[in-house]
């Protein structure tokens, strides 16, 4: 719960920065090893979801400390405010992350809701949802009431009536 | 034992490059299987009195609407489609109809379970097949018909697709990796970005992921560090290696801040040429990036997400769907 609250704070930070409000914390043995939020607009790279940013943080952390990357991921627990999308779920599976807790489901892109990545990657994390889902959903709703300022005009219009778009 | 394996690797690419140059095969689209159309067991009732037909059809539409079979004509001569057998659990069809409305009583002379087309026909060929089971509505779609004809591209277009695929293979040879993604802006016929499979250094840097980040760099963004030619964001030495090809490199430039907002957005409108079918992560990244078309040459049996394991482009709930083509080799 405590880590999910921190992830929610990161999601709020994303909202303030006009990004899809998703936040994420990676925990290993009860200790936080990475935290990030969605940075799609900032980087103009649509794959810079909170989870991917956290993975990069862990990788450079391993590099700095000369840790074996592959082994390091194996007992990491992920707290993310929205169900990981298909891309992030596949990424977390490929890294053999131990466990993932998420806030609200992701009806548009969810790696379990929309397409079950377990069918392709049978090994890997256990997924548990509904950890503070109302708070996570509320942030998304706030975001989609506004619009994505970096999308071209036509796309902004199209997007305004969608619920969850990125992530 | 190790030695021949090592030597064989570059040769495979050379073989592929050779067949790319000599082949005359058309490319084929990868979508849902359009050849075998599913059927669904459905109750069909024979109406005793011809004069009751229009009244009963009206009543059926009201009381037993079958949304998923709206592509079927409800009546064929004196027979009407009632509902899929799965609607009627343990009851008899007579009891089920009576439960729906009293007006169905004593109308039907006999019932029969018939297999009828489960999905609306999309292609002329499917329509011809479906009609044999039950009369259908059909809205011809010229674009789709062409897409499945195997002659979607002109000879000239095919040549250009093969040339961009050649860039992918040559770059893979140059980087000495198993996969490369080449992003092309078709409006200016130019290679915008290249991404190589760099997962031996970074587990997330698959070809498509790196290519998407390199596209972001052309739009004043990007998240990963790399040494690139400042002008094109493609390795200068690689550009030199590819200089004999009849291919243009470079992206549309932003002249002003305003243009930055109306200019290229992510990979919208861009085509991506990949040596190998992308994995689930990469394929979804390309959905997020809103790529227009994905071309790939080699199937990825392990976790390919455009053909081999799943077809992400057929998942209807995704907000963006690209077209996928293969058949280069
Ligand atoms: Zn994601
Ligand atoms: Zn991949």
Phi, psi at A101, each rounded to 5°: -110, 130
> Does residue B77 sit in the same domain as residue B207?
no
Q: How far is the CA of B279 from the centre of ligand 2 (A)?
A: 4
**pLDDT tens column, A43-100:** 999 999 999 999 999 999 999 999 999 899 999 999 999 999 999 999 999 999 999 9
Residues B216 and B305 in one domain: yes
The domain boundary, picked from B101, B131, B148, lies at B148
Q: Which residue, B110, B130, B148, sits at the end of a domain?
A: B148
Residue B26 lies in a domain: no
A1-144: what CATH class? Answer: alpha beta
| pLDDT, position B264 | 77
What value does the mean pLDDT of chain B take? 91
Does residue B141 share a domain with residue B59?
A: yes
Assess whether pLDDT exceeds 80 at residue A164. no
Q: How far is the CA of A94 from the centre of ligand 2 (A)?
A: 10
Both B143 and B275 in one domain: the answer is no
Q: What does the DSSP assignment read for A68-127?
A: -HHHHHTTEEEEEEE--BHHHHHHHHHTT--EEEEEE--TTTBTTTTS-GGGT--SS-EE
B274 and B182: one domain?
yes
* B181 reaches A (C-beta below 8 A): no
Domain regions of chain A by residue span: 1-144
Positive or negative torsion for Cα A27, B213, B298, B9: negative
In angstroms and rounded to an integer, the radius of gyration of the C-alpha atoms of chain B is 27
Question: Which pLDDT score is estimated for A160?
Answer: 37
Is residue A148 very low, low, confident or very high in pLDDT (cuts 50, 70, 90)?
low
pLDDT at B188 over 50: yes
Q: What is the spatial order of strands in the sheet that B271-276 belongs to?
A: B28-29, B323-326, B293-298, B271-276, B180-185, B190-196, B248-249
Question: Taking 90 as the threshold, does the pLDDT of residue B262 lie above it?
Answer: no
The residue in chain B having the minimum alpha-carbon distance to the alpha carbon of residue A96 is B203
Best mutation target among A34, A40, A45, A123 (most B Cβ atoms within 10 Å) is A45
Tell me the angle at which helices A2-16 and A133-145 cross, rounded to the nearest 10 degrees.
Answer: 0
Q: What is the pTM of this model?
A: 0.86
Residue B80, exposed/middle/buried by CB under 10 A (0-12, 13-18, 19+)?
A: buried
CB contact under 8 A, B319 and A87: no
B201 and B318 in one domain?
yes
Do B170 and B266 sit in the same domain of this protein? Answer: yes
Is there a domain that residue B10 lies in?
no
Ion ligand 2: residues, CB < 5 A: B 206, 279, 281-282
B217, B195: one domain: yes
Q: What is the ipTM of this complex?
A: 0.89
Q: Do B285 and A114 touch (CB under 8 A)?
A: no
Specify the DSSP class assigned to residue B254.
P
Is the Cβ pair A87, B310 closer than 8 Å? Answer: no
Question: Are B138 and B176 members of one domain?
Answer: no
Number of domains in chain B: 2
Give the whole-angstrom CA distance, residue A148 versus residue A140: 12
Question: Considering chain A, what is the average pLDDT of its residues?
Answer: 89
- Claim to verify: residue B129 and residue B110 sit in the same structural domain: yes
pLDDT in tens, B151-169: 999 999 999 999 999 999 9
Instruction: Judge if B257 and B292 occupy the same domain.
Output: yes
Phi, psi (deg, nearest 5) at residue B50: -55, -35
- Which of B108, B123, B148 is the C-terminal boundary of a domain? B148
Please check whether residues B200 and B285 belong to one and the same domain. yes
Where does the pLDDT of residue B251 fall: very low under 50, low under 70, confident under 90, or very high at 90 and above? confident
């Amino acid at each position: 719960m405590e880590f999910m609250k921190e992830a929610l704070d990161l999601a709020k930070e994303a909202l303030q920065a006009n990004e899809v409000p998703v936040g994420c914390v990676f925990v290993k043995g009860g200790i936080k090893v990475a935290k990030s939020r969605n940075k799609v607009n900032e980087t103009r790279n649509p794959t810079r979801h909170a989870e991917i940013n956290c993975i990069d943080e862990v990788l450079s952390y391993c590099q700095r400390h000369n840790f074996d990357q592959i082994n390091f991921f194996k007992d990491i627990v992920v707290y993310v405010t929205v169900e990981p999308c298909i891309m992030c779920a596949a990424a977390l599976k490929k890294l053999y992350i131990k466990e993932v807790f998420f806030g609200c489901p992701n009806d548009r892109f969810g790696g379990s809701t929309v397409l079950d990545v377990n069918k392709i990657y049978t090994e890997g994390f256990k997924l548990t949802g509904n950890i503070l889902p109302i708070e996570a959903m509320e942030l998304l709703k706030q975001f989609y009431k506004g619009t994505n300022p970096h999308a071209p005009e036509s796309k902004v219009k199209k997007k305004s009536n969608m619920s969850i778009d990125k992530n | 034992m190790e030695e021949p394996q090592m030597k064989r690797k570059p040769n495979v690419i050379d073989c592929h490059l050779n067949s790319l140059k000599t082949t005359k095969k058309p490319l084929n689209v990868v979508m849902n299987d359009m050849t075998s159309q599913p059927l669904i067991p459905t109750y069909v009732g024979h109406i005793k009195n011809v004069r009751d037909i229009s009244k009963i059809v009206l009543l059926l539409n009201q009381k037993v609407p079958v949304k998923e079979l709206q592509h079927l004509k409800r009546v064929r001569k004196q027979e009407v489609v009632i509902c899929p057998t799965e609607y009627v659990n343990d009851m008899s069809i007579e009891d089920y109809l009576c439960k729906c409305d009293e007006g169905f009583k004593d109308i039907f002379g006999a019932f029969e379970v018939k297999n009828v087309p489960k999905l609306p026909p999309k292609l002329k060929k499917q329509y011809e097949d479906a009609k044999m089971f039950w009369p259908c509505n059909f809205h011809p779609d010229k674009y789709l018909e062409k897409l499945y004809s195997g002659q979607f591209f002109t000879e000239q277009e095919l040549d250009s697709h093969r040339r961009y695929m050649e860039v992918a293979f040559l770059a893979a040879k140059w980087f000495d990796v198993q996969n490369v993604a080449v992003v092309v802006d078709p409006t200016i016929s130019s290679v915008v970005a290249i991404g190589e499979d760099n997962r031996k250094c970074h587990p997330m840097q698959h070809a498509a992921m790196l290519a998407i980040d390199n596209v972001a760099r052309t739009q004043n963004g990007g998240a990963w560090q790399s040494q690139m030619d400042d002008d094109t964001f493609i390795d200068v030495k690689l550009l030199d290696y590819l200089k004999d090809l009849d291919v243009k490199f470079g992206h549309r430039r932003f002249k002003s801040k305003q243009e930055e907002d109306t200019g290229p957005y992510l990979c919208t409108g861009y085509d991506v040429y990949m040596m190998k079918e992308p994995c689930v992560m990469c394929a979804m990244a390309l959905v997020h990036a809103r790529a227009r078309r994905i071309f790939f040459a080699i199937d990825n049996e392990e976790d390919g997400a455009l053909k081999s394991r799943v077809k992400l482009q057929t998942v209807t709930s995704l907000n963006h769907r690209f077209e996928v083509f293969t058949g280069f080799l």
